[in-house]
Amino acid sequence: MKFQKSITFISALCLVSGLTLAAENSTGPIADINPPAKGTVTEAQALEAFARIYEVASHPRCANCHVGEDNRPRWSGPSYAPFPPGQNWRYHGMNVNADDSRIGAETMPCSTCHQTTPDLDSAPHSPPHFGIDWQLAPVEFEWFGKSPNEICEQLKDPARNGGRDWMGLAEHLVMDAGHRGPVLWGWSPSGDREAAPFSLQQHVDDMTIWGVGGQPCPKD
């Protein structure tokens, strides 16, 4: 109970003060931003870091929400099987559509089922939840079904990533996790959902390695 309360308090504090880098829970920092020194990352190392970034971005725990202009969240990953023939995903059940608002405001809001609560635990097949309001990522942050090259070009394009350089991307990850949002949930999704690969800290490190290495993109 005590644990629960202090988490709620810290999330509230982060929201109010807009703290970004010092996101902490009661057991210490959730993730740190430690970029390697300038000039120490080779292009090959940066491309290796991006390969890991791609494995995370294209993983169901991230990509199911980062979908395009059909505004339809996806259900993919082992716990969401079975899928239609020839497919490894399906559309969100119950005809859910996030509409242009990306939160389903025009039809059935996501919050009808997905609560906003710092507690990440949910039972298998019940609606998952986390500390910020459940919604699709903006349409231009589309990852679902995209190739490594396509996700790479989107991530380094400020016109399509919310105006962020690589440090801004790393800061987004740490800030979102500090609010107990999707980025933290992706590695602790509960139910019987498969977690995103590597770890949050590794993902933040990879973002800075790729950044210091000049943000090279693989060719498809």
Binding site for ligand HEC (CB under 6 A): 56, 60-62, 64-66, 73, 75, 79-80, 92, 94, 96, 98, 104, 108, 110, 112-114, 125-128, 134-138, 141, 155, 161-162, 164, 169, 172-173, 182-183, 186, 189, 191, 193, 196
Smaller CB distance to ligand HEC: residue 41 or 166?
166
Smaller CB distance to ligand HEC: residue 5 or 20?
20
Smaller CB distance to ligand HEC: residue 145 or 162?
162
Give the sign of the dihedral formed by CA 168, CA 172, CA 174, CA 178: positive
Minimum CB–partner distance for residue 156 and ligand HEC (Å):
9
Check: CB of residue 140 under 8 Å from CB of residue 67.
no
CA torsion angle for 38, 44, 142, 123 (degrees, to 10)? -90
User: Where are any strands of DSSP class E within 61-218?
Assistant: 74-76, 89-91
User: Taking the chain, what is the end-to-end CA distance rounded to the nearest angstrom?
Assistant: 49
Smaller CB distance to ligand HEC: residue 40 or 197?
197
Minimum CB–partner distance for residue 31 and ligand HEC (Å):
11
How far apart (Å, rounded) are the C-alpha atoms in residues 131 and 3? Answer: 15
How far apart (Å, rounded) are the C-alpha atoms in residues 61 and 182? Answer: 8
Minimum CB–partner distance for residue 115 and ligand HEC (Å):
11
Minimum CB–partner distance for residue 100 and ligand HEC (Å):
11
